[in-house]
């Protein structure tokens, strides 16, 4: 299952996160990939709003991981930034993500090649944006335009309707 969505503003990226939260459930692993400033944390902020969790969702770059507990009995949001982690899952064992995963939604920025072993079922989210001269000439959306590609991996995502996320909110 793969879907590509064009997002033209940070507000729309956050709204995409809110809509994606409605699709997520406890045990979901979401890997976010994109250049610095692509909108990974903005998307995760929307996820936090949609999941109804406590605390401001900000980049966990220096703390590596933050847990945002649910305010209404839904899944917690575990937000991880693996940017500074060079190794694979071995280096991340201290975070106990395997313990958190069954009851939480775990979102890992920069997680490709590092945490896939946590689950056979995962959602890869790749955020691409125009950079340099391409950004200045981006049509319609201007330099904030991003292409967000969502790819579901595993049985969990086989019948998920990710294309529904392209519909306006």
Q: Which residue has the higher pLDDT, 82 or 106?
A: 106
pLDDT of 92 above 70 = no
What whole-number percentage of the chain has pLDDT above 90?
53
Q: Which residue has the higher pLDDT, 64 or 93?
A: 64
Q: How far is CA 138 from CA 7, 8, 85, 98, in A?
A: 12, 10, 33, 41
Q: Identify which of 148, 146, 29, 163 has the alpha carbon closest to the alpha carbon of residue 97.
A: 29
pLDDT of 40 above 60 = yes
Mean pLDDT of all residues in 34-54: 94
Q: Tell me the sheet residues that pair with 69.
A: none
Q: What is the pLDDT of residues 17-27, one digit of tens each?
A: 999 999 999 99
- Averaged pLDDT score across all residues of the chain: 84
> Please, how many CA atoms are within 13 Å of residue 67, restricted to the half-sphere of its CB?
12
Q: What is the pLDDT of residues 114-127, one digit of tens each?
A: 788 888 999 999 99
pLDDT of 98 above 70 = no
Q: What is the pLDDT of residue 142?
A: 57
What is the value of pTM for the model shown?
0.86
């Amino acid at each position: 299952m793969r879907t590509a969505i064009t997002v033209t503003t940070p507000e729309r990226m956050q709204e995409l996160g809110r809509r994606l939260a409605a699709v997520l459930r406890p045990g979901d692993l979401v890997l976010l990939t994109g250049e610095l400033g692509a909108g990974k944390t903005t998307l995760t902020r929307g996820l936090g709003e949609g999941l109804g969790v406590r605390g401001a969702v900000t980049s966990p770059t220096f703390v590596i991981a933050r847990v945002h507990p649910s305010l209404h009995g839904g899944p917690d949001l575990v937000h991880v930034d693996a940017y500074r982690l060079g190794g694979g899952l071995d280096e991340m064992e201290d975070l106990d993500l395997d313990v958190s995963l069954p009851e939480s939604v775990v979102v890992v920025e920069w997680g490709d090649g590092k945490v896939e072993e946590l689950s056979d079922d995962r959602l890869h989210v790749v955020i691409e944006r125009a950079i340099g001269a391409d950004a200045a000439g981006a049509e319609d959306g201007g330099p904030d335009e991003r292409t967000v590609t969502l790819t579901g991996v595993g049985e969990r995502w086989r019948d998920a309707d990710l294309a529904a996320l392209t519909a306006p909110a």
